[in-house]
Structure 1
């Protein structure tokens, strides 16, 4: 089967192995001895995500269980939200919606950037992954970037990949993607 990914995408995949460098931004998460929660807390620009994870009672799971792949929106990504007010989502009465939003950014298993590229290669340039929330997210290439999208057309670029933690891997993304559930919710 022929791979439809651009040749330079495969070059990006193997360049770090050859030269010991990464063409994707270096991650700011702590090392592999930390859990996903500890790595997120130490990153310095995922305070909003950490607050939301704690409000949804996901911190214990992401601190101990695994492995998980977390597509972690940065603080700047959360500032882009327009349809949904994050402060409203953080209220105790909206825990179900917050839980849905956060679990839409988590995939069971250890899904590295290399695994994502391989899946896109098998899928003629596209791949889908089922989140722990139950809906699918979609991956494709845009130039040199791996881009995730949801069914609503929201898109997020992986800006920092493969932050390996003791219970999974974190990829920083530049936008928040939405499950279908939140598209229909009108928060007070």
Structure 2
């Protein structure tokens, strides 16, 4: 399900050691020896995302070895969607749509912010990031802030970068990435 050609380089475990201590996310410590799902379920800021991952049946996948980079929208990010959207995508008949939206937040590589910034620099200030869900994100940065633009021209900012996981990395984002509409 997660087969896609990517231009993002997988990083070694040495990068995690260089990154230092993991930040707190949603009031909970994030442990580098736990996987993406094990950590996300403890974040008060990601209850909507966790609910949607469960509805889409992606818990087992995102608990697997990976590596994955997940751009994880906060609960507040989901409130920016039109009213009723979250409820609509959790209906059984919309599971395929939900799965695509969620996998547009996942890259099958372990890409810390320094690697992403390096690829942006190598590409002259903008780097296309293909996702597992088939979306292409345009990544740029200004100072320490990485910005993603989805295929609809929506801007999503990384608000907490480099949350190291046993099977990849989470970057907390302030918006929901949507496939081209």
- Normalising TM by the smaller chain, what interval? 0.7 to 0.9
| 1:37-92 deviation line (CA, Å, top 9, x unaligned) | 01111122100000000100000010123010000000000111128711000111
Q: Which runs of 4+ in 1 moved over 6 A?
A: none
In 2, distance between residues paired with 1:144 and 1:39?
24
Alignment partner, residue 7 of structure 1: none
The RMSD of aligned alpha carbons is 2.0
In 2, distance between residues paired with 1:167 and 1:79?
28
In 1, distance between residues paired with 2:145 and 2:177?
16
Alignment partner, residue 8 of structure 1: none
1:147 aligns with 2:126: no
> Aligned ranges for residues 168-179 of structure 1 at < 5 Å?
168-179=168-179
Relative to structure 1, the CA distance from residue 143 to residue 99 in structure 2 (aligned partners, 3 Å threshold; closer, same or farther) is same
What stretches of structure 1 of length at least 5 have no aligned partner? 1-16, 184-188
Alignment partner, residue 37 of structure 1: 37
Alignment partner, residue 112 of structure 1: 112
In 1, distance between residues paired with 2:47 and 2:53?
10
Q: Give the TM-score normalised by the residue count of structure 1.
A: 0.80
Q: Give the TM-score normalised by the residue count of structure 2.
A: 0.83
Relative to structure 1, the CA distance from residue 31 to residue 21 in structure 2 (aligned partners, 3 Å threshold; closer, same or farther) is closer
**Greater CA radius of gyration, 1 or 2?**
1
What stretches of structure 2 of length at least 5 have no aligned partner? 1-17
SS in 2 for 1:125: coil
